[in-house]
Copies of this chain bind each other. A is one copy, B any other.
């Protein structure tokens, strides 16, 4: 197999699955059941199966569906990690994707072929991750933040209907800093991705209008 690796690198996908809960931005870690790095925490990852996958992104979706039973969250490519030393099995390529899961779907996770799963703070994982996954997590965070700093709203992290305050809190959790409310509301005014609903959330404060993402919205 080592000889084959010199001709054919190992090809796989890694996924940084993010959600935002009341404690901030979280990323999903799995405890690996198998070598290499058995019993180490890692991003969900898997080997490309050309007979099953139509693309690397399809492989990422299959890995998520298989390992933690998450179907069809929003998936976007970050970049590809490659080289002779990042995997003890030999020359390897791993294309990293990030995926976004709404808070109300967090509890649906089950595990399969991993020893354990946990959501940890994305900005202070406190675990030494397998392979180059720490570096990958940082790259996924940069990619996510760069989109939110730009003109894109992370609506895939919100439930189907949400208030503008909830949206601001999700953006703040991603960026790691507070946003000025009136500047944020002005930015939202120009967005064609938000659809106003004639529905209101009741709470201790005055009722807050609900919004949803426009049909076909992609991050």
**Chain A positions near chain B (C-beta within 8 angstroms):** 4-9, 11, 48, 50-51, 54-57, 77, 79-80, 82-84, 90-91, 93, 95, 150
Contact = CB atoms under 8 A, between A and B. Distances in A.
A93 B150 contact: no
Given A55-B82, A56-B93, A83-B54, A9 B77 contact: no
A73 to B, nearest CB: 19
Central interface residue in A11, A80, A150, by most chain B CB within 10 Å: A80
Contacts of A80: 56, 77, 80, 95
Contacts of A6: 50-51
B50 A91 contact: yes
Contacts of A56: 80, 82, 93
Contact of A9 (B7, B11, B84, B91): B11
The 9 A-B pairs with the shortest beta carbon distances in the complex, nearest first, are A8-B8, A50-B91, A56-B82, A55-B83, A55-B82, A80-B95, A77-B79, A80-B80, A6-B50
